[in-house]
Amino acid sequence: MRFTVTGCAGFIGSNLADRLLQKGHAVTGYDNFSTGQHEFLDEAFKSPRFQFIEGDMVDAKRLNDAVKKADFVIHLAANADVRYGAERPSKDLEQNTFATFNVLEAMRQNGVHRIAFSSTGSIYGEPEIFPTPEDCPFPIQTSLYGASKLAGEGLISAYCEAFGMQSYIFRFVSILGERYTHGHVFDFYKKLAANPNEIEVLGNGKQRKSYLYVQDCIDAILTAIDHPQAQAKINIFNLGSDEYCTVDESLGWICQRLGLNPIRHYTGGERGWVGDSPFIFLDCNRIRSLGWRPRLTIRQSVECTLDYLMKNKRLFDRR
């Protein structure tokens, strides 16, 4: 198959592109390198089946070129950081919602019918049901990021109804692993590298979070899009693990691996920032019913992410 992967120079996108190429598919990557890294594409460029188009999601002509020969579009390009939404409110709307509209328009104009979309567990806001299933009633949105992704889901569903497309919407927990460049392990390691004796923790450290290893996330995507039991017009899957940990526990694993015992300074409160959900734990029975299982525990995922960052400290200079 020929895949187009938007956001293909990013953390998840570059790992996904490598896997698709390993499986013998052709991949057209699309990215503007706003957070993506050239070096993440080194492996992909070794394949004659890889093509790359540098462009922004607002550039309709380039996006058309990237999409026109595709059998399947995997749309990952986005502002992936929940935390700074309130500082620049238009960013999530532009990078996540409008960008998704542009992808759908490029697909419609070129007769491309299948799309996978990286949504997020943040769309559940602060739910009352744990683990949270895909059909949980939607409460109030608590972040601009979540709201922009939910709007993206809405556009995709509407395009499926109106133009005969088929979609796979994946609501991820936080993803960890090789080529990780944003999130709590990145932040904690960066702070500890600057000062190994003290560390600031956003919130009270008791936030409970679920995480998933990037290769497990990719396995789940590839399992679903090929699966005979997942051929509805709109297929929605939570992607996470069957466990969670507190921020304090995760920091403990990081410190243990680094051989440090810093004094922890908490900024306080149940939430570390606007849109920080005190408890994220998704019900993943739907994707599990297709035979998928995560390979790494949360602790193993945290540790392998830290090991990756320790070997690739140059990434800190770029973000």
Ligand X SMILES: NC(=O)c1ccc[n+]([C@@H]2O[C@H](COP(=O)([O-])OP(=O)(O)OC[C@H]3O[C@@H](n4cnc5c(N)ncnc54)[C@H](O)[C@@H]3O)[C@@H](O)[C@H]2O)c1
Which positions touch ligand X (CB under 6 A)? 7, 9-13, 31-36, 56-57, 76-78, 80, 95, 99, 118, 120, 172, 174-175, 181, 183
Q: Which is nearer to ligand X, 9 or 199 (CB)?
A: 9
Closer of 100 and 112 to ligand X (Cβ) = 100
CB of 225 to ligand X, least distance (A): 16
Nearest distance, CB of residue 203 and ligand X, angstroms: 18
Least separation in angstroms between CB 14 and ligand X: 8
Residue 303 φ/ψ, nearest 5 degrees: -65, -40
Kindly state the smallest distance separating residue 261's Cβ from ligand X, in Å: 28
| 38 close to 243: Cβ distance less than 8 angstroms | no
What size, in residues, is the chain?
A: 319
Residue closer to ligand X by CB (options 24, 61) is: 61
CA dist., res. 281 & res. 223, Å (int): 21
- Nearer CB in complex with ligand X: 143/201: 143
Q: Report the residue number, 160 or 175, with the smaller CB distance to ligand X.
A: 175
Asked if residues 199 and 206 have their Cβ atoms less than 8 Å apart, the reply is no
Q: Report d(CA 96, CA 207) in Å as an integer.
A: 26
Report the residue closest to ligand X, judged by CB. Answer: 10
Token duo for residue 267? 């900024």
- Closest CB 181 distance from ligand X, rounded Å: 6
Indicate the helix (H) or strand (E) that contains 66.
helix 60-67
State the DSSP H helix or E strand holding residue 171, giving kind and residue range, or none if neither. strand 166-172
